[in-house]
Amino acid sequence: MDEPPPPKIGELGPSGKPKLEGDELIALKKVLREKTTRIKNQPNFKLRELGVNASLTTNINDRVPMFLSDLQHLIMYSQIGVHSPYSPARWCALDKYNRLTNTNLLVIENVSLYDFLNHESLLPFLSSTFDHKLEMITPASYKSDIVKDLSMVPLTGSQMKKFINSFGTLEEAVLQSDELFDTVKNFFPMEEDVSESICLDSKLPASDKFPRTQLLLSGWQMVEENFPLPIQGLVERKYAGYRLTKDKYKDVTPFSPMFAIDCEMCKTSTGELELTRVSVVDENLKVFYDTLVKPDNEIVDYLTKWSGINKKMMRNVTTKLKNVQEELKKLLPQDAILVGQSLANDLHALKMMHPYIIDTSVVYNLTGDRSRKTKLQTLARELLKEKIQTGHQGHCSTEDSLACMKLVQLRLTKHLYYGDAVMNNVYSELRAYPDMGTSHYATSMLRQCVKVDKRVNVIALDDIGQRYKFYVNKGEEVTDVTNVTCIQEKSNKEVIKRFCDSMINFSLNIAHIRIADGQLEGTNPKILKNIDMWVKEIYERSSMSSLVIVLFGGQKHGNGTCFIKLKRELV
> In order of start, what are the domains of the chain with their CATH numbers?
44-152+446-567 (3.40.720), 184-439 (3.30.420.10)
**Distance in angstroms (rounded) separating the CA atoms of residues 236 and 321:** 19
Which strand (E) or helix (H) includes residue 447? Answer: helix 445-449
Model confidence pLDDT, tens digit, residues 308-329:
888 888 999 999 999 999 999 9
What single DSSP character describes residue 387?
Answer: -
**CA dihedral over 113, 117, 119, 122, signed as positive or negative:** positive
Model confidence pLDDT, tens digit, residues 227-266:
888 876 666 677 888 999 999 999 889 999 999 999 999 9
Q: Coil, strand or helix: which one is 108? A: strand
Q: What is the pLDDT of residue 183?
A: 45
Average pLDDT of the residues in 523-527: 82
CB 237 within 8 A of CB 61: yes
Of the candidates 502, 509, 513, the residue with the CA atom closest to the CA atom of residue 463: 513
**Distance in angstroms (rounded) separating the CA atoms of residues 27 and 24:** 5
Average pLDDT of the residues in 482-503: 93
pTM of the model: 0.66
CB environment 311-334: b (16+ within 10 A), e (fewer): eeebeeeeeebeebbeebeeebeb
CB 433 within 8 A of CB 370: yes
Which strand (E) or helix (H) includes residue 106? Answer: strand 102-109
**Distance in angstroms (rounded) separating the CA atoms of residues 376 and 515:** 51
10 Å Cβ neighbour count for 137? 25
Task: Give 566 or 305, the one with higher predicted confidence.
Answer: 566
Query: What is the C-alpha radius of gyration for the chain, rounded to an integer number of angstroms?
Result: 28
10 Å Cβ neighbour count for 497? 15
Q: What is the pLDDT of residue 568?
A: 85
Model confidence pLDDT, tens digit, residues 428-448:
333 333 333 344 566 788 888
β-bridge pairing 102-109 and 508-514: parallel
Of the candidates 105, 113, 54, 55, the residue with the CA atom closest to the CA atom of residue 554: 113
Residue 132 has pLDDT above 90, yes or no: yes
**Distance in angstroms (rounded) separating the CA atoms of residues 448 and 454:** 10
CB 444 within 8 A of CB 151: yes
Q: Give 420-426 contacts, CB < 8 A, sequence gap 24+.
A: 420/363, 420/364, 420/365, 421/365, 421/366, 421/367, 421/368, 422/365, 422/368, 422/369, 422/370, 423/157, 423/365, 426/157, 426/160, 426/161
Q: Coil, strand or helix: which one is 46? A: strand
**Distance in angstroms (rounded) separating the CA atoms of residues 315 and 152:** 54
**Distance in angstroms (rounded) separating the CA atoms of residues 72 and 165:** 27
CB 325 within 8 A of CB 351: yes
Residue 494 has pLDDT above 90, yes or no: yes
**CA dihedral over 231, 432, 456, 486, signed as positive or negative:** positive
Average pLDDT of the residues in 208-212: 91
| Per-residue confidence band for 571, with pLDDT thresholds at 50, 70 and 90 | low
**Distance in angstroms (rounded) separating the CA atoms of residues 280 and 201:** 26
CB 218 within 8 A of CB 434: yes
